[in-house]
Amino acid sequence: MREKIRASERWFCAICWLVYFVSYLTRANFAAVIAEIVVSEGFAKSALGAVATASFVSYGAGQVVSGILGDKINGKTLILAGISATALFNVLMPVCDSAEKMTVVWCLNGFAQSFFWPPLCKIMSERLSPQRCKKAIVDVSIASAAGTVCVYMLSPLCIMLFGWRSVFFIGAGAAALMGLLWAAGIENIREEPSRIERAPQKTSDMPLSAAVFTSGLIPVSAAVLLQGMLKEGITTWMPSFINENFHLGTEISILTTVAVPVFTVVSLRFFAFLHKRFFKEEVLFSVEIFAAAFALCVLMALFYRSSVAVSIALSAMITGCMQGINLMLISMVPLHFSKIGKVSAMTGILNATSYVGCAASTYGFAAVSERFGWNAVIILWCAVTFLGAAFLLPVCRKWKKFKKEFM
């Protein structure tokens, strides 16, 4: 019986990994080809930054919607709706002949994408033991990096052979196939599975607003917004940054950016290990990661012109730090709300806040770079990491007290 349960859990985790992997094939593809669109179509960086910004805004708004719905209705259905819609919008994206049309389509795609992570977190917290759930969340988080790596590795080849539009058609095909697999495979996942150790069940009727204030989640949300600025802002504009500073061409610039999501895989494992063994307090650990990222940003400001390898390595490490903070604050923190039945809602709220930061940075970094140059952008990175640590430090004790009360 124990082996049968474990086999069922492995299948469950595998299909969750795959669906999140495919979600990034249909999300990161725009960032992967944005430098080529600038060159081949003649669109301004700020215009395409607005496309990405619209997507992040709608994704953030959708996170709140899907987070609340995920605590009330079947998460499997939400995920199927999301994967089906994102396939459609990836088909429509290549036929857009203006930045304005792209903005509308990619905005809708962002909303569709929001129906993945909160329901996935809720489903995993319900099906798995607390320790197994944490491991599964780390594994599924890595799917986002794996999907991004895949997009950035395939995009240069697709651009050279078929043009940038093919990247969206491939993503749409992958999403359609994943939708069929999810619909078929999810039938084998029972609503109330047998488990060796059940996750904590709801024991409190604390309202959502009270939970936010009691846990100190408002300053945490501010820090989440700041990490979102760097997590997606660096990845989105890295090909343009490399091309403009080192003149490698768009295809090579896109390919070199693969280092960022590759390092994300390493960093997620690294920070998950440190959290499990040494740094149990998610908020305090995030302060320390922000401090490390600040030091890396200062080094970036001083030495990024020295070589392309230095720029890529430092950018990858800064993004890796943001992924570690994302893991702590968006993936781990909401699990502590299981006893008040708010895992999906808290995940949605925090993820939404992160993508407000993403929206600000994708447009903001483009506008700042066009007007003041990349030096000013990197100084902005320094300010973001400093403020992130400053927001979190005063709330560490309050979060520790909340955890103790609801563990």
SS3 348: helix
Q: What are phi and psi of 168, to 5 degrees?
A: -75, -40
Tell me the range of 124-133, 168-177, 197-206 where mean pLDDT is highest.
168-177
Which residue in 301, 260, 250, 262 sits closest to 45, CA to CA?
Answer: 250
Provide the token pair at 116.
């993945």
Query: What is the amino acid identity at position 74?
Result: N
For 44, the 3-state DSSP assignment is: coil
Give residue 407's pLDDT: 54
Largest CA distance in the chain: 64
Question: Residue 63 class from Cβ within 10 Å (0-12 exposed, 13-18 middle, 19+ buried)?
Answer: buried
Cα gap 123→92, rounded to integer Å: 31
DSSP classification of residue 194: -
Mean pLDDT of 19-44: 87
Using one digit for the tens of pLDDT, what is the confidence trace for 58-71?
A: 887 887 787 777 66
Instruction: Report the C-alpha gap between 285 and 299 in whole angstroms.
Output: 22
88/93 Cα distance (integer angstroms): 9
- Taking only the tens place, the pLDDT of each residue in 367-388 is 888 888 888 999 999 999 999 9
**What is the C-alpha separation between 323 and 117, in angstroms, rounded?**
15
Domains of the chain (ranges, CATH numbers):
2-406 (1.20.1250.20)
| Ordered alpha helix ranges (H), 163-304 | 165-185, 208-215, 217-246, 250-256, 259-277, 282-303
Give the pLDDT band of residue 189 (cuts 50, 70, 90). Answer: low
Distance CA 334, CA 176 (A): 30
- The pLDDT score that the predictor gives to residue 88 is 95
Q: Is the pLDDT of residue 197 over 70?
A: no
Q: What's the confidence (pLDDT) of residue 168?
A: 94
In tens, the pLDDT along 255-305 reads 777 777 778 788 888 898 898 888 888 889 999 999 999 999 999 989 888
* Residue 108 in this model has a pLDDT that exceeds 60: yes
- Which amino acid does the sequence have at 404? K
pLDDT of residue 194: 42
Helix (H, G, I), strand (E, B) or coil at 74: coil
